[in-house]
Amino acid sequence: MTDQTKNSASSQATKERVVIFDTTLRDGEQSPGATMTHAEKLEIAGLLDEMGVDIIEAGFPIASEGDFRAVSEIAANSKNAVICGLARANIKDIDRCWEAVKGAAQPRIHTFIGTSPLHRAIPNLDMDQMADRIHETVTHARNLCDNVQWSPMDATRTEWDYLCRTVEIAIKAGASTINIPDTVGYTAPVESADLIRRLIETVPGADEVVFATHCHNDLGMATANALAAVAGGARQIECTINGLGERAGNTALEEVVMALKVRGDIMPYATGIDTTKIMNISRRVATVSGFPVQFNKAIVGKNAFAHESGIHQDGMLKNAETFEIMRPSDVGLAETNIVMGKHSGRAALRSKLHDLGYDLADNQLNDVFVRFKELADRKKEVYDEDLIALVNVGIDGEGDRLQIKHLRVICGTEGPQQATLTMAIDGVEQTTEATGDGPVDATFNAVRNLFPHDARLQLYQVHAVTEGTDAQATVSVRMEEAGRIVTGQSADTDTVVASAKAYVHALNNLLIRREKSGGDTPEVNYKDLT
């Protein structure tokens, strides 16, 4: 153990607490194409609660009936975390938010309004009118709920005097948390720290509330700005798993949490996060959102603990601390990559999955085991990443209305390529042939022959799970129809098969979205809220 690690451990008891506010299910889900199903939202909320997140912003209840139901159910099921809902600065939004979160053991209402000149122009309110609106809505929220958070959207581009005025109004009206959003990722670390510090020093009553920071990553400084805000006096960080969020994303939970843990010598703050659960939830969010994690992403990227340089490898063999400032196990990553094969049994698979952060029920394990054996027959070696893909991506479910049964593709240097597809639609098998500009295009055309639709393919992404020509390909697709955006994922050693399954997975999700929205009901657009 290094002196730095020893000092960090010995000072842990004296560290000041920083609250972690996760908005993956609200701001993160606003990323185009990152919409999650009801079941996926409940699953992610459970994982966040289990890992020690203090506050879960579960959604924007007035946005849709689906969002309201998800927030309500998350609130009812929460065990430890405060459950928060978002509401615009009007009575109807706040009432709907309270209806959704009031079933939580610890509910919170988060209301906001844009205070910068650009945002004041949208509702056409002058400074005095907006000040009255803030007082009215925060007071109303406080009369419903003891725990109220208020945010001046685009705070970092709001005039200093007016920002102080609105923050004071919100505090006097009963807000117990004041969140300062850098809505468009405009600020820099020195400004972030100074802004929080000056507000605490200047605004009457500021010493009696918690200040929070909410940073976007448009200039790549979200994590730095969040940590700087903490140095300035903020004691709540708003963040998302994998930095998911609007445009370039939000502050990444895993980055700020590990920065505080590793650099406790200069940032004497503690969180309640069980960091060994980070990798598992990162992978799960990547899967359900359809946003793969870039290989060189800090903390959770595939290359975060990989060493290829000869100098680095030599140093690692002699002393891992030479080139690693944290251990892979600190974030829940297996330090050894034991290879599983076709002779491995259920017990070995269960043990391996447990090491990777997955504790499956017997029926889930049986399902994964069958697919593991099928994969082991096709691959010489099955690595950790292969098993993770099997668990996270899966295959067509028995309850899906669309299921691929057989696929045969003819391709080569002479086109067009041809696909013969058999697909079950509501239990009835149908077969068709189609051609296209490449095997994947031909396959997608065959799917459209059997299931005509107007959904537009927005994204088609393939990446290899492991190295080698027999590697599994993980395919992600994103589709849009009438304002509804859905994603689909699948994995297979055959890229075309994985592509077909991902495409059909997205169509099944589209069918679910159609049913929930009543066919033609448009969804509320709530982009760029904070």
What are the binding residues?
Answer: 27, 214, 216, 250
Closest CA to 108 of 53, 160, 161, 64: 53
Write out the two tokens for 334: 């297996």
Which H helix or E strand runs over 135? helix 127-144
Q: Is the dihedral of CA 121, 26, 465, 481 positive or negative?
A: negative
Write out the two tokens for 248: 């370039």
∠ CA 449-451-455, nearest 5°, is: 100
| Alpha-helical regions (H) of 183-303 | 189-202, 222-232, 253-262, 278-289
Which residues share a beta bridge with 509? none
Beta strands in 318-451 (DSSP E): 402-410, 417-425, 428-436
Burial track 363-390 (b if 16+ CB lie within 10 A, e otherwise): eebebbbebbeebbeebeebbbbbbbbb
| Binding residue numbers for Mn(2+) | 27, 214, 216, 250
DSSP states along 480-528: EETTEEEEEEEEESSHHHHHHHHHHHHHHHHHHHHHHTTTTPPPP--TT
CB 124 within 8 A of CB 166: no
Burial track 321-332 (b if 16+ CB lie within 10 A, e otherwise): eeebebeeebbb
Count CB neighbours of 273 within 10 A: 23
Which residues, 6 or more positions from 521, have their beta carbon under 8 angstroms from its beta carbon?
none
Write out the two tokens for 304: 């975060």
Write out the two tokens for 405: 């049964």
